[in-house]
Amino acid sequence: MDRDRELLRHFLAAIAYRTQKALRGAPEHYSTFSAGNRARTPVELIRHMTALMGYVRTFFQGGSYPMKPDPLPTFQAEVGRFHEMIEAVGALLASDAKCSISPEQLLQGPFADTMTHVGQLAMLRRLADSPVAPENFIYADIRADRLHADQPPPARPDKRWPEAPE
């Protein structure tokens, strides 16, 4: 596997890790929390992130993936489908499968877009009155072979943070 694909796989793993960090311990109401002004809810963001990764898959396998996948019955099912999709993309990157666009295009387009939405998930946690504790991501246990929902806890969480819930 070339270095570009290794880095893309690692970026996928960072997406998986940060997604779970934003979701871990979220209150029950979080999945449908609305910030207003037609902003996507967390469940809508996860579904959109799945569509982005499905779009990536089409550059390897052809075909199409719906821009708006059918809703699943639970938030956990949506999160599971998202992780299954990034695992599928990770497997394609690890294979000899040809991609019809460059690694740079994957990164600047759907990969960067997905990471932006991970940040929105974290921001919505704060707006839903359940902020996510900060950590130093340089030391996070992120591995390219771990794209599933079962991500490790923070390796170096900040001991103090002013936004901590009382």
pTM as predicted: 0.95
- pLDDT, one tens digit per residue, over 22-40 is 999 999 999 999 999 999 9
Q: Measured between alpha carbons, how far is 53 from 141 in angstroms, rounded to an integer?
A: 22
CA distance 49 to 6: 21
pLDDT of residue 34: 97
Backbone angles phi, psi at 122, to 5 degrees: -65, -40
